[in-house]
A and B are shown apart, each in its own frame.
Chain A
Amino acid sequence: METAGGKLVSELSRETPDERFGRLLAANHAPLTRLAASYAANRSDRDDLLQEIAIALWRALPSFRGECAERTFLFRIAHNRCITHLSKRRYTVSLDDAHIDAEDPQASSEAIVAEEQQRRRFVAAIRELPVIQREVLVLFLEGMGYGEIAAVVGISESNVGVRLNRARQKLKALLGDRS
C-alpha cells in the first residue's frame, strides 16, 4: 500500500517517529501554514496554531497504521486542532493581519503589491465564512477531492458538495462587497 506521500507502508514502518514527523512537516509546511492562517486571527496566532498542530501530530503519529493516506491523516489532525483553536480566539481579524506568509516588504513592483493586497482580501473573506463552509473550501483549495475532504472533516461526500457550493456563493458575495 502506498501513501499519499509516495512512501510504501513497509518503508514507513522502518522510519523512526522522529524521521516521519520531520518528513511530514517538511512536505506539508506550506499547506499547513495556509490552513492555520485561515483559522488564526493574526500571524502570531497562526504560529501558535501551527505549533499546536505539530504537537498533535507528534502525539498521534505512533497510532498511524496506514489506514488512510498520510495526507488525510495529517490534515484530519490539523483540521481538528484548528476547530479546537477557534474557541480560544480572543481578538478580531483586521485586514492587515490577513496575510498568509511573509512577503518581501521592499517589493517595489506595483503589480506585486496589488497582488498581495488582493490575496489579503481573499484570505480575509475566507475567514469570514462560517466554519462549516470554510473547512471544506480551504481543503478544496489545497487540492483535495471530495472523498479526501469527507475523510478529513468526517462528513459525506454529498455534504461536502453542498457545503462547497454554499461556500463558493458566499465567498463570491464577500469578495464582491470588498471590491
Chain B
Amino acid sequence: MSVDGEMEGWRRQWQGGAKPVVDADAIERLRRGVVRETFWSKWGLIFPIFATLWSGATIVMPALRSGRALVVLLGVESVVFIVVVWVVAFWLGRGTWRPLADTTAAFIAISIRRREAYIRGAIAGACLYVAQFALLVLVFGLSPAGFGAVLVSAPVMGLGWIGIPVVFAGLYWFGRRQWSDLERLRELKRQLPSD
C-alpha cells in the first residue's frame, strides 16, 4: 500500500471513531462545567485576598486597641508574617504564569517549573508554619505563665502537637503528588531533544 493510501486509511479509521453528529448534551455539560469552574477559580483568587485583609484587620485592630505592648507586638508580627507568606508565594511563583512560547517544549517547561514551585512552596509552607508556631511559643513562654503552662495550653496543643503532624502529613502527600508529576514531565522532556 502507498504511503498516501495508508495514511488515508488510518485517517478514515481515526475519524470514524467519534460520530460526526453534534452531541448537544455533551456540549451543554461542558458549558455548565466551564461556568462552574470559572466561578470557583474567581473565588480561588479573591478568597485569599479577603482572608488576608480580614485576618489582618481582626488581629491588628484589637491589638492596637488593647494598648498592651506584647499584644501590639504580636499583632504587628502577625501582619509581617502574612506579608512574608505573600512575598514567598509570589517569589516562588515567578516565571510560572505563562509559557515563553506556544510550543510543546515551552508547555512542558512551564509545567515543570510549576511543579518545582509547588514543591518548594510546600517546604516553605512547612518552615513558615513551624517558625510562626515557635515564635508564638517563645513569646508566650517568656510571659509570667512560663513555658510549662504554655506548652500544654489548648492553642499550643491544637496548633502544635496536633497541627504540626497534620500539616506536615498534608504537605508530604501534596509534595509526593507533585514529585510524581514532575518525574513524568521530566520523562516527556527527555523525549523532546531526541527528535
List residues of chain A with CB under 8 Å of any chain B CB.
21-22, 25-26, 29-31, 33-34, 37, 50-51, 54-55, 58-59, 76, 79-80, 83-84, 86-90, 99-101, 115, 118-119, 122-123, 126, 130-133, 135, 138, 140-143, 153-155, 159, 162-163, 166, 168, 171-172
Interface residues of B in 1-29 (CB under 8 A from A): 3, 6-7, 10-11, 13-24, 26-27
- Bound Cα distance from A153 to B107, whole angstroms: 10
Give how many B residues have a beta carbon under 8 Å from the other chain's beta carbons. 46
Q: Are A89 and B10 in contact (CB under 8 A)?
A: no
B33 → chain A closest CB, angstroms = 5
- Closest 10 A-B residue pairs measured CB to CB? A154-B103, A100-B17, A141-B14, A101-B18, A30-B18, A54-B30, A87-B181, A87-B185, A58-B34, A83-B107
Q: Could you list 8 A-B pairs, sorted by A, with CB under 8 Å?
A: A30-B19, A30-B20, A55-B38, A59-B38, A118-B13, A119-B16, A135-B104, A141-B10
Scan B182-195; emit 1 where CB is below 8 A from any A CB, else 0.
10110010011011
List residues of chain B with CB under 8 Å of any chain A CB.
3, 6-7, 10-11, 13-24, 26-27, 30-31, 33-34, 37-38, 99, 101-108, 111, 115, 180-182, 184-185, 188, 191-192, 194-195
Of A87, A90, A122, the contact of B14 (CB 8 Å cutoff): A122
A38 → chain B closest CB, angstroms = 9
